[in-house]
Amino acid sequence: MRLETVLNDQGDTMAITVRSNATAEPRTKGDRRRARLVEMLGEGTDKRASVNELAEALDVSVVTIRRDLALLEKDEVISRTYGGASLAPGRREMTMAQREVSNVVEKEAIAQVAVSLLHDGDLVILDAGSTAERIAAAIDNRFELTVVTNGLRCINRLVGQERVHVLVLGGNLRGINETICGGDAEMTLSRIYGNIAFVGADAVNTERGIASRTYDQSRLKSMMLRQAAQVYVIADSSKLDDANDYPYWSPLPHEWALITDAGATQEQLDALEEHGATTILLAGEQIPKDSRNPKEQS
């Protein structure tokens, strides 16, 4: 595993930090609380909890929790049980509104690292997803780029950035994660070869690759992994080495790179390195002063 450093305009080593701005903040306190509810129900072995346990853990009233659970049940994210709740059978997927308030700090840190790798003139393949959306926002019109994306939220973040040319992959819209995919998207992408690709994942597993919710998403991600000179999988540490019974997988290429957060364990990083991760960037960590950019090493 190589530690890749990031240089500023003066050529000095730069610490990776999280930039605080209004666009990175979750929308409402209720959104944040409901996203945390879903996370809590996905933790542990039985993945269910009582209303009283949830209220105590989140320091709110039982009435508030019941109201939150009713909204989540309406969206088919959870199932109500006697006196509590659990994740809906076969439905662990969060909506984009819920994703955007989940692991906020980690995703923003990953986005800052990703953008530090860009240069004027790059053609960037940008996957859909909440982490990819933060990358689109963090570009912040700082580069002359072409960005190829299938993410509605990425498109919306880029639409006002005049220095960024956006090429949208067309096809079928999947509403819950605001993703476009299908044969038309694959046909367009087959004619493109980017400098760099940022590919998201519901999970990263050393044996299976990166997980998707649908077959079409898996096909498109597999193509993204082939259509760029440098491929970075973008995944916060909660997604590493997680099989979790996902149905569709995109095998990782022989060599690939990963941007994750400093919450990743050494065991996880060692396993990923053994399975082709030639570069791993840990967002949120200080860069050692004696590290050099691998691109400058002979």
Pairing status of strand 194-200 against strand 228-234: parallel
What integer pLDDT is reported at residue 287 of this predicted model?
Answer: 37
Confidence (pTM): 0.68
Give the span between the Cα atoms of 208 and 187, in whole angstroms. 25
Give the span between the Cα atoms of 277 and 215, in whole angstroms. 24
What integer pLDDT is reported at residue 163 of this predicted model?
Answer: 97
- Domain limits, CATH 3.40.50.1360, in the chain: 98-282
CATH of 98-282, one of 3.20.10.10, 1.25.40.10, 3.40.50.150, 3.40.50.1360: 3.40.50.1360
What integer pLDDT is reported at residue 241 of this predicted model?
Answer: 67
CA-based nearest residue to 18, from 112, 142, 133, 118: 112
What integer pLDDT is reported at residue 25 of this predicted model?
Answer: 43
What integer pLDDT is reported at residue 50 of this predicted model?
Answer: 87
Give me the average pLDDT of each 10-residue run along the chain (298 residues): 42 38 54 79 63 90 90 72 66 59 78 96 96 96 97 95 96 86 95 97 90 90 97 92 74 93 90 91 59 33
CATH of domain 29-91: 1.10.10.10
Give the span between the Cα atoms of 67 and 64, in whole angstroms. 5
- Domain limits, CATH 1.10.10.10, in the chain: 29-91
Give the span between the Cα atoms of 159 and 175, in whole angstroms. 20
What integer pLDDT is reported at residue 114 of this predicted model?
Answer: 96
CA-based nearest residue to 199, from 161, 246, 249: 249
